Amino acid sequence: MKDPFLIQTSDQKIKDRKIPNFSNRLEEGGYLPSEVPEKAALAPPVKKGRIYFFFIFVFVLMLILFFRLFWLQITKGEEYRNIAEGNRIRILPLKADRGLIYDRFNRPLVKNKANFSLTVIPGDLPKGEQEKKEVLEKLISFLEPEKKSLLELKEKVSRFSPSSYQETELLRNIDYQTAFDLVLKTNELPGFNLQIKAERQYLNVDVSHILGYTGKLSQEDLIQKSNYLMTDVIGKTGLEFYYEDLLKGKDGQKKIEVNSLGKEKKIISQVSAQTGKDLILSIDANLQSKVANILKKYLKLSNSMAGTVVVLNPQNGEVLALYSYPSYDNNSFIQGEIEDYLNDINDPLVFRAISGEYPSGSVIKPIIAAGALAEGIINEKTSIFSQGGFWVGKWFFADWKQGGHGPTDLIKALAESVNTFFYYLGGGYGDFQGLGEEKINYYAKLFGLNQKTGIDLPNENQGLVATPAWKQKVKGEIWYIGDTYHLSIGQGDLLVTPLQVANYMAVIANGGVLFKPRLVKEINDSETKKRTLISSEIIRKNFIDTKHLDLIKKGLRATVTQGSARRLSTLSVEIAGKTGTAQVGGNKNSHAWFSGFAPYNNPEIVVTVLIENGGEGSEIAVPAAQEIFKEYFSL
């Protein structure tokens, strides 16, 4: 009989399988060794190759892990520690207040007012698009009074690099109530902060061209100015541009610890900002406003669209008033409202006093006279007969007065602006030897023409005094005697700026000193209280004998007492000067000029008036100058 506990197989199939009762078998004496089942549920043996492969795999894995840890901890450890620290520690700039600008009597012309702006640090924004959208939607709800759309904000934010931790301005000119609400609400928004910045406010629009304005940095500015940030402003033109380095001041900084939202937790260290220097100008703000009103009055009377006035102190080169019309309100540039100015055909952004270039007309004649006296071509007794003009070949060079002025000496020639006299002085006639084009150029440059005056403003033009070489190069034409005659009376290829005219009239007034005009007379440090006076700068002096200048001054005085500016003789102060009527092309009226000084024996001011297309200088520029002289001496 078969043992029921034995496993029996047939045809490799299990016929019967029962679990042995070991405890019973042990009681019965157990199995003999020969009775142990041949296949008693043992696993097959593991091959040695698999064991070796397993240990090699573990070893390589550990080796890779070791080298990765070495790379992170040793090789790149310092870099990653800095990154981690940078996420926790930030260095923020403390912006310096921009220096202020005052007139000569310490009247403020600008001030710094608080402006609220919303800034973003892209690196602090949520990384996920959905989370970022939720933050922007919440921000929109806070900015409801600003009426900013989600699409607009998303478009702005998308421009910034998500890895940048540089603070960038997102919205500016936020109203006070919205700003007040945002102070607390932005604490919940990662990446967004409310900033209070000082913004320029200009207090006197009559000095807009002089002061200029500030604006955001261009890409070129950011490349050239390494110490500026994207959120900074910079002087764009006028004194704001010229004295940018002084006005800007020196920024400070603070090191802070931030939380997970990028918000400030505590200040670790701080370096205070240094306020920019203040500028004290030579400009008299009251006189400037009077001049502006007078010029606009006479522009209207003459149906002119543009003009300019320059008022200088001939004894030191200080500018007392400098105004051009049309002008602009520089506050518009702070607010970004500039389209009307850019599209205005009358170019209100052009500062005509220093950038406008015009034919001088007869106001050039004192320089021609000075050159002729210095060269010995004439003296105080020289007389030339004016019969209304003369012929040179087929060309007639006319005097302005039909029939001429008769016998004319220098004083009469200046007083009545006799063209024939100055034709002789410049180009000669018959046996009379004139200066010629080279000497005209030489003396014009001595008096500051064909070069910038050097005033402390940008965008000054230098004008033009033509030469034969210039004409050949630019026009491809030879020089004719008529070109010399035209230069002699301020026509032809001769262009001057109103400031140049005022500056050479100052040379005649002060007895032979050519100053560099200046607007800033003092620089003040508001923190140290140190005051720096700006000394007058002389370009050249004693280049014309004073006795020649005295004779010219007599002719300019005669212009007022008996010549083309007689209406100025009604004032209580003695005035000397020269009128000019500069012809222009087309059907437009001539430019009206006057340039003169007062008091005659001890000059305090030079006044130069130009009214574009205003007609006769004696009819429109002289009465404007009359009112300016009257205002100055009454002030």
pLDDT, one tens digit per residue, over 301-327 is 999 999 999 999 999 999 999 999 999
Mind listing the domains of the chain with CATH numbers?
Answer: 110-202 (3.90.1310.10), 285-597+611-634 (3.40.710.10)
| Cα separations in angstroms, 380 against 292, 409, 412 | 39, 7, 11
DSSP assignment of 388-426 equals SEEEETTEEEE-SSTT--EEE-HHHHHHHT-HHHHHHHH
Kindly report the pTM of this predicted structure.
Answer: 0.81
Please indicate whether residue 154 or residue 464 has the higher confidence score (pLDDT): 464
Contact indicator for 452, 593 with CB cutoff of 8 Å: no
Contact indicator for 428, 375 with CB cutoff of 8 Å: no
Whether omega for the bond prior to residue 93 falls within 30 degrees of 0, making it cis, is no
Query: Confidence class of residue 47 from pLDDT cuts 50, 70 and 90?
Result: low
Lowest mean pLDDT among 182-191, 301-310, 496-505: 182-191
Please indicate whether residue 588 or residue 470 has the higher confidence score (pLDDT): 470
Residue 415 has a pLDDT of 96
Q: What percent of the chain has pLDDT over 70?
A: 86
**How far is residue 280's CA from residue 108's CA, in Å, rounded to a whole number?**
9
Supply the DSSP symbol for 598.
E
Q: Given a cut of 60, is residue 268 above it in pLDDT?
A: yes
Lowest mean pLDDT among 175-184, 307-316, 605-614: 175-184
CB atoms within 10 A of CB 372: 26
Nearest to 279 by CA among 226, 238, 221, 224: 238
Q: Given a cut of 60, is residue 376 above it in pLDDT?
A: yes
b/e burial code for range 408-422 (CB count within 10 A of at least 16 → b): bbbbbbbbbbbbbbb
**How far is residue 595's CA from residue 442's CA, in Å, rounded to a whole number?**
22
First to last CA, the chain: 148
Which tokens belong to 107?
């009247």
Residue 217 has a pLDDT of 85
pLDDT, one tens digit per residue, over 118-175 is 778 777 777 777 777 777 777 777 776 555 555 666 677 766 766 677 777 777 777 7
Query: Confidence class of residue 543 from pLDDT cuts 50, 70 and 90?
Result: very high
What is the mean pLDDT of the segment spanning 469-487? 96
**How far is residue 186's CA from residue 196's CA, in Å, rounded to a whole number?**
14
Q: Given a cut of 90, is residue 207 above it in pLDDT?
A: yes
| Cα separations in angstroms, 60 against 49, 57, 575 | 17, 5, 102
314 — phi, psi (to 5°)? -70, -15
Please indicate whether residue 568 or residue 167 has the higher confidence score (pLDDT): 568
Contact indicator for 516, 455 with CB cutoff of 8 Å: yes
Residues whose CB falls within 8 Å of the CB of residue 62, separated by 6 or more in sequence, listed in order: none
Q: What percent of the chain has pLDDT over 90?
A: 60
Lowest mean pLDDT among 141-150, 414-423, 485-494, 541-550: 141-150
Residue 14 has a pLDDT of 43
What is the mean pLDDT of the segment spanning 540-548? 96
Which tokens belong to 304?
């002119």
What does DSSP say about strands 101-102 and 278-281: parallel, antiparallel, or unpaired?
Answer: parallel
**How far is residue 324's CA from residue 207's CA, in Å, rounded to a whole number?**
9
b/e burial code for range 124-135 (CB count within 10 A of at least 16 → b): bbbeeeeebeeb
DSSP assignment of 337-348 equals --HHHHH-TT-T
Supply the DSSP symbol for 540.
E
Residue 180 has a pLDDT of 76
Sign of the C-alpha dihedral computed for residues 223, 228, 232 and 233 taken in this order: negative
**Average pLDDT score over the chain:** 86
Highest mean pLDDT among 248-262, 265-279, 352-366, 585-599: 352-366
Q: Given a cut of 90, is residue 369 above it in pLDDT?
A: yes
**How far is residue 322's CA from residue 501's CA, in Å, rounded to a whole number?**
13
- Burial label for 14, CB within 10 Å (0-12, 13-18, 19+), is exposed
Which tokens belong to 18?
């029962």
Nearest to 496 by CA among 449, 442, 437, 447: 449
What is the mean pLDDT of the segment spanning 505-534? 95
pLDDT, one tens digit per residue, over 187-206 is 777 877 777 788 899 999 99
Query: Confidence class of residue 282 from pLDDT cuts 50, 70 and 90?
Result: very high
Residue 121 has a pLDDT of 79
Sign of the C-alpha dihedral computed for residues 518, 213, 217 and 124 taken in this order: positive
Query: Confidence class of residue 15 from pLDDT cuts 50, 70 and 90?
Result: very low
Helix residue spans in 404-480 (DSSP H):
410-416, 419-427, 436-446, 468-475
Residue 107 has a pLDDT of 97
Residues whose CB falls within 8 Å of the CB of residue 246, separated by 6 or more in sequence, listed in order: 99, 276, 277, 279, 523
Place of tokens 């004083």: 411
Residues whose CB falls within 8 Å of the CB of residue 556, separated by 6 or more in sequence, listed in order: 366, 414, 508, 576, 577, 578, 596
Query: Confidence class of residue 578 from pLDDT cuts 50, 70 and 90?
Result: very high
Contact indicator for 442, 435 with CB cutoff of 8 Å: no
Q: Is 494 helix (H, G, I), strand (E, B) or coil?
A: strand
Sign of the C-alpha dihedral computed for residues 439, 444, 445 and 450 taken in this order: negative
Q: Given a cut of 80, is residue 458 above it in pLDDT?
A: yes
pLDDT, one tens digit per residue, over 104-119 is 999 999 999 888 877 7
Query: Confidence class of residue 466 from pLDDT cuts 50, 70 and 90?
Result: very high
Residue 51 has a pLDDT of 74
